[in-house]
Each structure stands twice: as structure tokens, then as C-alpha cells.
Structure 1
Amino acid sequence: MTRPDPAGPDLAAPLPVVVVRSARRRRTVSADIRDGVLRVSIPGHFSASQEKHWVKRMVERMAQKYPTAPQIESDAPVPDLLLRAEDLARRFLDGRGVPARISWVTNQNSRWASATPAHRTIRLSHRLHGMPDWVVDYVILHEMAHLIEPSHSPAFWRLLTSYPRTETAKAFLDGAAFAAHRNLMDAGGGTGPMADS
């Protein structure tokens, strides 16, 4: 079982780099580490020199962001997370919303998590690692509620009323996102830097 490290992958040891060109991508560049490979996604129209510049920049950014040893190697399902989700569903959602698959990922930097109702999957951002259990529980419940009710409709929010710390967890995540945006989080501490939140 892979467990996320709050600081993420170690880029002191060079990782293989794969460049992914996208015709749909116009200006943005992103990077994520999966299965021990740094994937840099760039617009398809970038020149070779632009590609080289952005690969170098993203390698440097990831090395700054993740100064410790790699712990998240893939988005493989984590059995402990599935058991946790089953317990939360039983306690707060009348047993509904249990995902078929739930995993930690390193490529979600603007969301805490995501759910895909069609596949009944949940992906949790590595940025949640080190946060209080009641916050992570809220995020898991939030995503399981999306497996039942995909939009943020009144019916969706009613599903979360049984969790007693919903509002506190939302406030905690808002504070963490604010601090990350202002670079107030300690890169070596609990949640690590969380830019783009």
C-alpha cells in the first residue's frame, strides 16, 4: 500500500520526464508525478525551446515543492481508504455513496479531491495528507455525496447535514487554501505548500 508523504516525491534523484503536448491546451503548463515519472503537460504549439524552458522550470518547481522521499507512486486504490469510506457511508450517508475505488493522487493542485460518478471513483489530493482526520473525513464524505448527487444542489448539501463537522471542515479548508495562496504554509510541515487552491 502506498501512503502519501506530506512533502511528496523526492526530486533530488532525477525522475524520468515525459512531455505531453495537447492541442486543446492554449497557454497553461502543468506538471504531476505519477508512477515515478514527472509528466509536463504543455500546449501543442510550443516550440522546442519553449518546451525545454518549461520542462526545466517544472523540474525546479517540483524539486522545491517536494524535497523529501517519494511516497505516492501511483493513483492505485488504497484499501484503508475504501474501508474508511465504507465506514463513513454507513455512519453518515445511510450506506450510500461508497466508491468502487478511492486513491491518493499528486496531480490535483487546485482541488482537494474529485469524484467521477460514472466510474464511482474518488481521487484525494496529496495536499490533504497531514490534515486532521475530521477534515479528510469531510472531504471523503463530500466526494461520496457527489456519487449520489453530482451537482452542488440543495439535495447534495442535505446529504452532508448528518456530518457534525461539515461547516468547521469547510472553514478549515478555506483557511488552508488562503494560507497556501499566500505561501504561509510551512513546506516541511503538516500540509505542505498548496499553491493554486
Structure 2
Amino acid sequence: MTETELVPLRRDPLLPASPCPVLWRRSARARRVSLRVDPVAGAAVVTLPRRASRAHGLRLLEEHAAWVLRQLDGLTPALELRDGATVPIGGVPHVIRHAPERTGGAFLEDGILFVTGAAEFLPRRTERFLRAEALRRIGVAAMRYAGQLGLRPKAIRLKDTRTRWGSCAPDRTLSFTWRLVMAPDWVLDYVVAHEVAHLREMNHSDRFWAVCEALTPHRAEATAWLKRHGPALMRVG
């Protein structure tokens, strides 16, 4: 069960209540009521054990209302793919410009992402361009790193996962979120190298990390960047 609800919360008894988006989840594995803020969904998440009532979750929400609202206030606003918006590509900001008089779908020119066609198609065409660019960049990096190991992935696929940047399946298929295209090139390179290293070591053993660090020197910096800026990329679109 996953339900969404707006719950009025007060950060201070003397202040009016603020509407707070809350995702309610029930889990057979949960042992207690838990509360967290999901930076991607932009909502508080209350997880209830199988037999716990929603009243228990509301009580926890109200007890921590100030913290929840403070966390939500600090989130990066969601970015809509629209005319005039600025979207990063390779970590470099690019303004989206609707160009109905031109042809070619979507393309980069002088640091601007031009999107042709009717206005209602702009978000879809922009995302389609970003996906294609992500596949191109990821594919180049993956084949380069796999070549260094004398290996070859079965396939390279794009997904729209909101919790994982990449994965390597047992059949040697590499999967990545297309949102990596918005990260700096060296961050994308690290994620790709990480997953390619799994072609050699399907684990996170010392041997795996040795392979990973032989492919890329950016592990510490890239993981820190993703922890700090990754949630904002997940809120694009």
C-alpha cells in the first residue's frame, strides 16, 4: 500500500498549519512506525507495520513536524522541462529554448538546447534528447572501460530509476539512469566505471574496489557530489 495525502503540520503551535505531502506505506517487514523525508518525491514518508494504525503515523508526524517542514523547505525545487528553464548537461547549464520555426527535434547550439515543434511536445522532446545524449556518453565510457578490462557488456540500457545510478545484472547487462547526463562528465565516468568493474567482480569486495579504482580516480569526489547534488537531478522533469 502506498498512498499520498496532504497533512496540515505546525512547525510551531503559534503558527498556522502548513500542508505537507505525505506518502503512506505499509510494510510487512517493518517492526515500528518510521518517518523520513524523500528528497526525490519532495514528501515525508511514513512507513507503518502491518497492524499499526495511521493514527500512530500522524502522531509521529506531529511530534517531528518542525523537522519535517524544515527538511522540505531545504529541498531543491523540482525543475520542469519547459521553455526558458536551465538544465545541466555534463554539469554545464543549458537554457531550453522553444524554436517552433526550426526543424530537427532537439539539438544543442551555442550552449542552448533548442527544441522544435509544438509547445506541448517540448517536455517530451527535451527528455528524449537527454536520454539519447546519456546513452551516447555512457556507451562511449562503458566500452572504453570494458575494453581496458578485456571484457564486453551484454547490453547497455537506460532506465529512469530514482534510487540507483547504475547496476550490473548477472547476465552482464549494464543499466543506468538517463539522469546521469546532467552530472559532470567525471561523475558520469565514475558511475560507469563502477558498474563496468562489476563485470569482473560481481560484489563489493576489496578486489572489486581495486578494479574500480584502477579504472577511475574519482570515487571519493564523485560519491560526495552525488550525495550532495544527486537529489536535485532526480527532481528534473
Which bin holds the TM-score, normalised by the shorter protein?
A: 0.5 to 0.7
TM-fit CA distance, 1:78:
3.1
Match of 1:132 among 157, 178, 184: 184
1:172 counterpart = 2:216? no
| Preserved CA contact (<8 Å) 1:85 1:98 | no
Tell me the distance in 2 between the aligned counterparts of 1:135 and 1:104. 18
Q: What's the CA shift for 1:172?
A: 1.1
2:73 is the counterpart of 1:20: no
Q: Partner of 1:69: helix, strand, or coil?
A: coil
CA shift for structure 1 position 43: 3.1
Q: Which residue of 2 aligns with 1:67?
A: 77
| Contact 2:139–2:156 (Cα < 8 Å) also in 1 | no
Task: Give the counterpart of 2:141 among 81, 88, 91.
Answer: 88
5+ residue gaps in structure 2? 1-18, 82-127, 233-237
Alignment correspondent of 2:56: 50
Quote the offset at 1:88 in angstroms. 0.9
Residues 173, 18 of structure 1: alpha-carbon distance in 2 compared, 3 angstrom cutoff: same
More strand by share: 2
Q: Which amino acid aligns with 2:158?
A: I
Output the CA distance in 1 between the equivalents of 2:223 and 2:39: 25
Q: Distance in 1 between matches of 2:156 and 2:80?
A: 26
Shift in alpha-carbon separation, 1:158–1:145, aligned structure 2, 3 A: closer
Contact 2:159/2:177 (8 A) holds in 1:
yes
Structure 2 partner of 1:102 = 158
Calculate percent identity across the aligned residue pairs. 26
Cα deviation digits, residues 140-176 of structure 1 (max 9, x gap): 2202322553113425633652x3xx22x12313654
Closer, same or farther in 2 for the Cα pair 1:85/1:174, shift >3 Å? closer
Q: In the TM superposition, what is the alpha-carbon distance from 1:70 to its structure 2 partner?
A: 4.6
Larger radius of gyration: 2
Tell me how large the CA RMSD over aligned residues is: 4.6
Letter of the structure 2 residue corresponding to residue 48 of structure 1 = R
CA distance in 1, matches of 2:72, 2:176: 20
Letter matched to residue 74 of structure 2: Q
Number of residue pairs aligned between Structure 1 and Structure 2? 158
Normalised TM-score (structure 1): 0.54
Distance 1:160 1:97 in 2: 19
Q: Is the aligned partner of 1:117 residue 2:169?
A: yes
Could you state the TM-score of these two structures normalised by the residue count of structure 2? 0.47
Aligned to 2:204: 152
Q: Is the 8 A contact 1:115 1:147 kept in 2?
A: no
SS in 2 for 1:78: helix
Describe the SS at the equivalent of 1:43: strand
